[in-house]
Structure 1
Amino acid sequence: MTAIDPADLDLGLDTFGDITRDAAGERVSDAQTIRNVVEQAVLADEVGLAFFGVGEHHRPEFAVSSPEIVLAAAAARTKDIHLGTAVTVLSSDDPVRVYERFATLDAVSNGRAEVILGRGSFIESFPLFGYDLRDYETLFEEKLDLFSQLLTESPVTWQGSLRAPLEAADVFPKTAHGLTAWVGVGGTPESVVRAARYGYGLMLAIIGGPAARFRPFVDLYHRSLDSFGRDRLPVGIHSPGHIAETDQQAWEEAYEGFESMNNTIGRERGWPAYSRGRFQHDVGPEGALYVGSPETVARKIADTVGSLGSTRFDMKFSTGTLSHDKLMTSIELYGTRVQPLVREMLAERG
């Protein structure tokens, strides 16, 4: 276990804008789901959370395909919370446009913008925007290299194999203090080393198995930063969860949404049907779901950040059909009860 100073730990939230159902069981519209996401961000700010992330997807289960626009709406109604993506699929986007959009969001939010860059675990954006999946690795490597140079906010001269070159190209607007940028990693050593090489924070997406098994990736990240002559950079964690007053209530509320989402994606990827048995394992100590009462979730978060030495934990609080009112309750409990409990637990452990 690694001692974590409670003052150094940030707790945040992530959502993909999952299409939910209302109290009558009816499917909520895409438009209402997006408006609900903005309300969720406002509440997250009110209860003192550090970050609110919105993922980018291009498929029917998720309403948000342009997260920066949703985040800009949230920026206008929030004061302190940092706003970013979870993730931006850089491989099927243009790094110049990504920089420009986030620099604009940074201005609108008065310096609260963050970007988490990823290759994309869903591939719909590649054919949608005219990219060849055979270039999957090269696209991300080259675009990450270009984006890294754009972050300097100086004129960039760059050349790759899959995009037109740039010659002393300057991009606008400029930010007041630079952009905070991370790379989302699902657990491959090459991705960890890449994040260190380009000088990005490491955001580990832990959606299966015990968090402790990712410790070798954290150690590899730190060794890689040292080998590249870089200062220590933050390690964050993204994992799914849901909070209610009791464990049993949280499990009952969350199961249908997890079952729906896992079976929908599983049919495409050849996964076995989701079951209660698997769910109960996943919410236990050896699983990656942070579902339960405030005390249960706080204990699991404290264990996770201690085992990995991370200073940021983002709970992916929306999954499948879980309704907006239950999501709002989960956010409130996360900020008002889980957050102080985690800090108390970490302080007690020294």
Structure 2
Amino acid sequence: MAAVRFGLDTFGDITLGPDGQRVSDAQTIRDVVEQAALADEVGVDAIGVGEHHRRDFAISSPEIVLAAIASRTTRISLGTAVTVLSSDDPVRLYERFATLDAVSGGRAEVILGRGSFIESFPLFGFDLHDYEVLFEEKLDLFAQLRTERPVTWQGTTRAALDGADVFPKTENGLRAWVGVGGSPESVVRTARHGYGMMLAIIGGGAARFRPYVDLFHRSVSEFGHDALPVGTHSPGHIADTDDQAQAEAYPGLEALNNTIGRERGWPPYSRLRFQQELGADGALYVGSPATVARKIATTVKTLGLSRFDLKYANGTLGHDQMMRSIELYGTQVIPMVRDLLGE
């Protein structure tokens, strides 16, 4: 098995401070920079920050936060989780990430997605009736921009381009993935455009996603591309013991799931659901370093992954608890997983 890269993801979840009060958006963003600096120090391979435009999450401009992180780090890859391509302009987006790649010494990457929330569509003047065509056309244009040659392109969602060039040029290209929720159409589309595939596994066991991985590899081959990477993104939290990790993680997960659930008609989050997701057939990676390492190793083997990203920020979980989780992930979990994989 080729060496696997291990990352951490955050949406800039708004946390509670030691006094139980909501932390400001500004302090949350500063905390994310501190968390990423620690991740770099303890050997984590990648940090991803998501884009949202709602009260629960502080990060709406990932590349600005990543530029701040670049100034505090030396080796960690700097990416998104995800960038909402549908409501952005591919040309401006590419130029921003090419700039980030320059200031970070070639460490930038981008994970493109439609986003699981829709606030950015009315905010930036896009019609939700165009949900599919916006993503399809912009994904195609972004793929052409990655060649860093003049682009001629025409679609229905933005002005046509005729031999347009974009700047700055990167030194070694821009790494790009597409975040996929698990539909066959999304898998094939990702392969067709030549992107890596990042599966968002936020419910259920990893094994049920194996058919999507197989479909992706077949599609990549049929479209004539070289082999492309597959990764997963799943929530979790690490503490010194299983009981401590579960006690710390549950309140934040409950608060986040219930907030979103009220909008989407989900039943209230429960201890039973939490316990189910902790098991082999669930998507939560919560526990002691040994517990989390075993589950990650099983997922990597089951899906043949090139990358595993742990979403370490979950709802109102506090900054100090996240810092300890990051420390354990880098110093204990990742080495344990590498041993279990025989790397």
> What TM-score results when the alignment is normalised by the length of structure 2?
0.99
**C-alpha separation in 2, matches of 1:76 and 1:42:** 9
Deviations 1:325-348 (A, max 9, x none): 00000000000000000011111x
**C-alpha separation in 1, matches of 2:304 and 2:145:** 30
* Equivalent in 258, 261, 284 of residue 256 of structure 2: 261
CA drift at 1:115:
0.2
**C-alpha separation in 2, matches of 1:280 and 1:182:** 31
**Which aligned pairs between 1:66-85 and structure 2 lie closer than 5 A?**
66-85=61-80
**C-alpha separation in 2, matches of 1:124 and 1:240:** 22
CA drift at 1:311:
1.3
Q: Which residue of 2 aligns with 1:124?
A: 119
1:134 aligns with 2:129: yes
**C-alpha separation in 2, matches of 1:198 and 1:112:** 22
Structure 1 residue runs of 4+, over 3 Å off?
none
Gapped regions of structure 2 (runs ≥ 5): none
**Which aligned pairs between 1:1-350 and structure 2 lie closer than 5 A?**
4-5=1-2, 8-347=3-342
Deviations 1:235-279 (A, max 9, x none): 000000000000000000000000000000000000000001110
SS at match of 1:202: strand
Deviations 1:136-171 (A, max 9, x none): 000000000100111011111100011110111111
SS at match of 1:310: coil
**C-alpha separation in 1, matches of 2:30 and 2:233:** 23
**C-alpha separation in 2, matches of 1:170 and 1:33:** 37
> What letter corresponds to residue 70 of structure 1 in structure 2?
V
What's the RMSD between the two structures over aligned residues?
0.7
SS at match of 2:179: strand
**C-alpha separation in 1, matches of 2:341 and 2:79:** 26
**C-alpha separation in 1, matches of 2:263 and 2:24:** 24
CA drift at 1:228:
0.4
**C-alpha separation in 1, matches of 2:304 and 2:338:** 14
CA drift at 1:285:
1.1
**C-alpha separation in 1, matches of 2:291 and 2:211:** 26
CA drift at 1:284:
1.2
**C-alpha separation in 2, matches of 1:93 and 1:343:** 37
SS at match of 1:77: coil
